[in-house]
Amino acid sequence: MRSAACSTWWFLCACLMLAGCNQNPYGAQSAGLPQQQQQYLAGVQQLEQRAQQLDTNNSDLHTQLADSQRQNQVLDDQIVLLQKQLADSATQLRTSQLANREMELAMKRAELAKSEADERSQTLQASMRRRGGASITANNSLQQTLPTVNAPGVSIRRDGDVVRIEIPADQLFPRGGSQLLPTAATVLDQVANIIAVQYPKQIVVIEGHTSSEPLLDKRFVTQHALSAAQATTIFEQLSQRNRLPANQLRIMGQGAAHPLVSNATTAGLAKNRRLELVVYPDRFSN
């Protein structure tokens, strides 16, 4: 726009020169110029003022354009940020959905494992209570006064027609392991003596129980595998070191399917980690 005004200016000047303007068109002498030349001079002044106004307008437009470009850049940055936030939210949603599916599968597997363990337990108990279709009544030795044991944490209780000798797993094994602690023999010697004296002819099922805490030993892929391994270790100790008849003993890994208390606390987890020697009224065959 500035260049257009300059072109008009030079064109008018040329016209004035061709018209015989030999005097300065500005200043006090303009009063003595012919009327036609004064009109040309007035027109030139008007065009110069218009050119200056156009130059000012052009500068304002450039300023407004720069402001608009800055605003557009801010909006572009905001759009990029919103797109990133949207992508992050979508990723978090997919991760959450995947975690929920994995949790559902884990719960289903736990329910299935519990169902299988309950079924095995019921089958074993039924087989112990029946022999050849005939019901077996409790032996008088299970109705007598329960013996006592001096080992800390070990308890003996009657549960229906069976007697349960409960031993904290932490007294026998390191956390999450199946190798006996050096002090475990003292506890098992007392338990083996009770069985040999009080229940010499009864079937004894060694039940391994765990808590729901994560497995520490990667050799065991499930809680049932860990509990079965611990029960097997007790079986070997009682049958080899303590000389209890091997055919008197049975093994069952219950895993975390039968907690005594809630697993929500550290004390609850420790309480549920246990070995139970369950004395049945059945007599075993020599």
Q: Are 113 and 224 in contact (CB under 8 A)?
A: yes
Q: Exposed e or buried b for every residue in 240-272, given b needs 16+ CB within 10 A?
A: eeeebeeebbbbbbbbbbbbeeeeeeeebbbbb
pLDDT of amino acid 21: 45
Q: Which domain holds residue 180?
A: 138-283
| 206 and 121 co-located in one domain | no
Measured in degrees and rounded to the nearest 5, phi and psi for residue 135 equal -70, 145
| 104 and 177 co-located in one domain | no
CA gap 108, 110 in Å, rounded: 5
pLDDT of amino acid 60: 83
Give the number of other Cβ atoms within 10 Å of residue 102's Cβ. Answer: 10
**Could you tell me what percent of the chain has a pLDDT over 70?**
76
pLDDT of amino acid 53: 87
> 30-70: per-residue pLDDT in tens?
555 678 878 888 888 888 888 888 888 888 888 888 888 88
| 93 and 75 co-located in one domain | yes
Residue finishing a domain among 87, 109, 129:
129
| 121 and 142 co-located in one domain | no
Residue with the two structure tokens 């765990």: 210
| 145 and 277 co-located in one domain | yes
CA gap 220, 228 in Å, rounded: 10
Of 17-21, 77-81, 108-112, 203-207, which range is least confident? 17-21
Give the number of other Cβ atoms within 10 Å of residue 202's Cβ. Answer: 22
Give the number of other Cβ atoms within 10 Å of residue 230's Cβ. Answer: 28
> 167-201: per-residue pLDDT in tens?
999 999 999 999 999 999 999 999 999 999 999 99
Tokens encoding 222:
């499930």
pLDDT of amino acid 11: 54
| N- to C-terminal Cα separation, the chain | 118
| 87 and 187 co-located in one domain | no
| 165 and 265 co-located in one domain | yes
Burial of 43 (0-12, 13-18, 19+ CB in 10 A): middle
The tally of domains found in the chain comes to 2
> 113-170: per-residue pLDDT in tens?
666 666 666 556 555 554 443 333 444 455 567 777 777 789 999 999 999 999 999 9
Largest CA distance in the chain: 151
| Closest of 275, 193, 283, 268 to residue 235, by C-alpha | 275
pLDDT of amino acid 69: 85
Residue finishing a domain among 129, 152, 183:
129
- Higher pLDDT among residues 2 and 248, named by residue: 248
| 168 and 85 co-located in one domain | no
Residue finishing a domain among 68, 103, 129:
129
pLDDT of amino acid 119: 62
> 64-91: per-residue pLDDT in tens?
888 888 888 888 888 888 888 888 888 8
| 122 and 145 co-located in one domain | no
| 83 and 174 co-located in one domain | no
Give the number of other Cβ atoms within 10 Å of residue 179's Cβ. Answer: 12
| 114 and 183 co-located in one domain | no
CATH of the domain at 203: 3.30.1330.60
Measured in degrees and rounded to the nearest 5, phi and psi for residue 213 equal -70, 160
Residue 140 sits at the vertex; the CA angle it makes with 139 and 146, to the nearest 5 degrees, is: 110
- Higher pLDDT among residues 254 and 100, named by residue: 254
Average pLDDT over residues 231-243: 96
| 162 and 272 co-located in one domain | yes
